[in-house]
Structure 1
Amino acid sequence: MTKITGIETIRTRADGTWLFVKVLTDQPGLYGIGSASDHYRCKVVQTAIETVAPLLIGRDVSRIEDIWQSIYTAGYWRNDAIGNTVIAGIDMALWDIKGKEAGMPVYQLLGGATRSAVAAYAHASGDTLTELEDDVRRYWEEGYTVIRCQLGPYGGGGFLDRAEARGPKNHWPQDRAFDDDAYLENVPKMFAHLRDKLGFGPKLTHDVHEHLAPHNAVQLAKLLEPYRLYFLEDLLAPEQVQWYRLVRQQ
């Protein structure tokens, strides 16, 4: 029986926002690596892993489901983003160990491959429609068939500067504000321009990044129908998933 002897965390990237978990065992050279990354709360996840680590020392690495349940039920408040990220990283590391012990990649343990390759998409952006069009053309010429299109950063097309953002009296000062109506106007214009210039050859996509209120997200999906997006990403926040039924119905 292989036992857990330690849990380590490894922060990567220049700003330390990418976190990995390393599960050590009593077998020389045998360890597992898992990703437990939360870009905005990396230190919180790291502390949570260090908190549950003593519960795992001496446990049998083969009891992956039992360890999963032990971590999940160890806290009074459950099923939160931080806790689930902790579980995911440790769970991944334990499967990494199981694959090494079996001498095969984990996907083989889980039933084997179901496809020979996976298509990749490129991320095109530009501060103007012309810049974006040029970026899409560049990726298309490089051989990408699926291209995600953003007008500047995530939410681009919906941000207004301080002079344009007409907030209520005594509102908190800010350099820019996000406006749903501006986004609903500019994003369809963006795809109208791209389809006019590039046709329907490229499979175009877009990431809303949860910027819109649910009823406006439904409206955006309807407005983009004529441009036949390959997919519309992150249209709604996780707590608003019930709105997807309305999106599909309309």
Structure 2
Amino acid sequence: MLIERADVIVTSPGRNFVTLKITTDDGVVGYGDGTLNGRELAVASYLTDHVVPLLVGRDAHAIEDTWQYLYRGAYWRRGPVTMAAIAAVDTALWDIKAKVAGLPLYQLLGGASRERCLVYGHASGKDIPELFDSVRAHLEEGFRAIRIQTGVPGLDSVYGVASSAAASIGDDTRYDYEPARRSALPAEESWDTRAYLRHVPSVFEAVRGEFGEDVALLHDAHHRLTPIQAAKLGKSLEPYDLFWLEDVTPAENQEALRWVRHHTTTPLAIGEVFNSVWDYQHLIREQLIDYVRSPITHAGGISSVRRIMDYAAMYQVKSGMHGPTDVSPIGLAAAVHLGMALHNFGIQEYMVHSERTREVFGPTHEFAGGGLRPSEEPGLGIHFDEALAAEHPYERAYLPVNRLQDGTVHDW
């Protein structure tokens, strides 16, 4: 079974997505997600101009060989653009293989290791009362694990906080947080680390006091802290029993995690900006983290993330794959299928895509009992509507730039 054609589709049903459609010579179609928020066209070009010409005529079943051909053959390895493009190809080929086999994809990855994949949702608010409303809404929806983000007194805009009180789960006004804004230049936000470090412990004290000990709570520092600041935050949050503290410091400085680990027992999740097993080599081997955050979409596909997680399993490190709405429903479906099969699955991030996005991609996975389960139909369980996708053309969008209050560019 040979690859007859490959098409790159860029669509923006509320936000931008890059989709690769691979068609075989006997008409089987597979889909892969190559979305890279704020740099979508770089991946689209990489696929269209450099990868698609290499795919036509290749054996669609030779997934591992194709992965190695694209990774090693280019000479220039790793990086988010390259690995997102390879991920799109890899995921689409797994989708094809499962459809030919007549099985849901997780069955080809070893079968189910659990009934469903535990997920966490995003609760946020500009202040404590608004945050409480968001937490209650998530609990009513059935979430058992919730990420907590809130505004910081004195700061106008803070990462992870919905832009309005109406942005909550429910109908199409639900919280579909899109930090990449449609503008000629990136928006600029301001940051005050001391104000943040003073405020966050009081937020978790209030949430635990209101909602008790049973709900699993998570928090994302979004790379904004130095190692000593990260250690201080982790220690100050220990009384509130977090499921994890995410991206406490820029992860490229892997020595920093040794310092943080030494000072706090709060579990650490790292890696949504990592895109290969090499990025995790020291962090996993030295057990400096507890959860791997790389999504299938940005880390080379199902084949690549499976290798990362097999390595992580040797050190009791679990998965916690990045899964906001800038990973398309294709990428989310792939994560859920892999999560069903992984023995060392931990949790899956889950932000509900907008109604328009769901209409374009037609996902069939099911949320119930605090978790996601893929459908039993062959492949990924995606029904992509190309005609509808064409009605939503690409719109240039940039992620914000963050500055300290003195004007210094800071991590966003």
Structure 1 residue runs of 4 or more that deviate by more than 6 Å after TM superposition? none
Unaligned runs of 5+ in 1: 162-173
Unaligned runs of 5+ in 2: 157-186, 264-412
C-alpha distance in 2 between matches for 1:158 and 1:22: 46
Structure 2 residue matching 1:131: 3-state secondary structure: helix
The verdict on how the C-alpha distance between 1:47 and 1:158 changes in structure 2, with shifts beyond 3 A counting, is farther
**TM-score, scaled to structure 2:** 0.53
The amino acid of 1:188's aligned partner reads P
Aligned to 1:122: 121
2:211 equivalent to 1:198: yes
Higher helix content, 1 or 2: 1
2:37 equivalent to 1:39: yes
Larger radius of gyration: 1
Once the two structures are TM-superposed, the CA of residue 225 in structure 1 deviates from its matched residue by: 0.6
Once the two structures are TM-superposed, the CA of residue 199 in structure 1 deviates from its matched residue by: 2.9
Aligned to 1:92: 91
Once the two structures are TM-superposed, the CA of residue 158 in structure 1 deviates from its matched residue by: 7.7
2:106 equivalent to 1:111: no
TM alignment of 1:129-144, pairs within 5 A: 129-144=128-143
Contact preservation (8 Å) 2:227, 2:260 = no
Contact preservation (8 Å) 2:218, 2:244 = yes
Once the two structures are TM-superposed, the CA of residue 92 in structure 1 deviates from its matched residue by: 0.7
The verdict on how the C-alpha distance between 1:227 and 1:72 changes in structure 2, with shifts beyond 3 A counting, is same
TM alignment of 1:1-40, pairs within 5 A: 2-14=1-13, 17-27=16-26, 29-40=27-38
The amino acid of 2:4's aligned partner reads T
The verdict on how the C-alpha distance between 1:143 and 1:25 changes in structure 2, with shifts beyond 3 A counting, is closer
The CA RMSD over aligned residues, in Å, is 2.1
Aligned to 1:157: 152
The amino acid of 2:132's aligned partner reads E
Once the two structures are TM-superposed, the CA of residue 49 in structure 1 deviates from its matched residue by: 0.4
Once the two structures are TM-superposed, the CA of residue 135 in structure 1 deviates from its matched residue by: 2.2
Structure 1 residue matching 2:252: 3-state secondary structure: helix
Contact preservation (8 Å) 2:19, 2:88 = yes
Contact preservation (8 Å) 1:158, 1:178 = no
C-alpha distance in 2 between matches for 1:54 and 1:69: 16
Contact preservation (8 Å) 1:158, 1:180 = no
How high is the sequence identity, in percent, across the aligned residues? 42
The amino acid of 2:21's aligned partner reads K
2:269 equivalent to 1:244: no
* Structure 1 stretch displaced more, 12-21 or 104-113: 12-21
**TM-score, scaled to structure 1:** 0.84
Aligned to 1:213: 226
The amino acid of 1:237's aligned partner reads P
Structure 1 residue matching 2:210: 3-state secondary structure: helix
C-alpha distance in 2 between matches for 1:68 and 1:62: 11
C-alpha distance in 2 between matches for 1:159 and 1:73: 49
The amino acid of 2:236's aligned partner reads L
Contact preservation (8 Å) 1:8, 1:22 = yes
The amino acid of 1:157's aligned partner reads V
